[in-house]
Amino acid sequence: MELIPRHFPNIGVVEGQLPEGVVANLWSMIEEAREEPDDMKPELAGNISSSIRLDGSSPLLEEFMSELLPSFIDKHVESYGSPWRVVMKEGKSLNLNSFWVNFQKKHEFNPPHDHGGVYSFVIWMQIPTSYAEQRKLPVCANSNADNHISNFAFSYTNTLGKISTFAYNMEKEAEGYMVMFPSQMTHQVFPFYESDEERISISGNITIKEE
């Protein structure tokens, strides 16, 4: 008798390392925003020190908006279909509806939340800690959920109706890495410890607009 496992379909994410030139442009935008910060915290769920708006119309975003972001979205549609029947077709275009940078310090966190828009993304710019080292700390060492400390995680309902999580381990290798996902996917950021440096990440929400 042959036993055959059957995997039910689900909606995932698309991820990839950004080119060095694009990452350098994003750093330039962060430095520009720091000169005259536009506070985003009242619009966001984060329990973190600072979130400030980035200029979504900056020419530094040309490659990101014209090539990279459409490629991420095309791959997601190819893999999982269009969320909520949104279809990119003639007469419609991508709109970077909101765009900001987060500065997270030790013990701070982002609680479970989702975003507005159709697609959202996160780009990790600076990771001051190592998940492999964080999980050894006394606060976590004997936990049966040691894959959460310092990490970014998605939460979703499995076919048994239980909440499952998928975590991204925060290591230096994550710098310049982007994950794009449907905006309604629940996600959160767990706190890190024993570092006085900031974790810096960029987030954005994408809508589809009529030309």
Whether 87 shows a pLDDT value over 60: the answer reads no
Task: Quote the tokens at residue 29.
Answer: 């935008």
Domain ranges within the chain, ordered by starting residue: 16-210
* Separation of CA 81 from chain center: 20
Radius of gyration of the chain (CA): 18
Dump strand ranges (E) for the chain.
14-17, 50-53, 92-104, 110-113, 119-126, 152-157, 163-168, 177-182, 186-189, 199-210
Confidence of residue 208 (pLDDT cuts 50, 70, 90): confident
Tokens representing residue 197 in the block? 């440096």
Can you tell me whether residue 56 is helix, strand or coil?
A: coil
Q: Which of 70-79, 89-98, 137-146, 197-206 has the lowest mean pLDDT?
A: 89-98
**What phi-psi label fits residue 173: left (phi over 0), alpha (psi between -120 and 50 degrees) or beta?**
alpha
For 113, the 3-state DSSP assignment is: strand
pLDDT of residue 20: 97
> pLDDT per residue over 53-80, tens digit each?
999 999 999 999 999 999 999 899 899 8
Average pLDDT over residues 25-53: 95
Choose among 95, 87, 60: nearest CA to 211: 95
CATH code of the domain made up of 16-210: 2.60.120.620
Beta strands in 18-150 (DSSP E): 50-53, 92-104, 110-113, 119-126
DSSP letter, residue 129: S
Q: Give the mean pLDDT of the chain.
A: 92
Residue 75, pLDDT score: 93
Mean pLDDT of 133-138: 94
CA gap 211, 198 in Å, rounded: 39
Q: C-alpha distances in angstroms, 74 versus 80, 119, 196?
A: 10, 12, 39
User: How many angstroms separate the CA atoms of 197 and 100, rounded?
Assistant: 19
Percent of the chain with pLDDT over 90: 79
**Taking the model in full, what pTM does it have?**
0.93
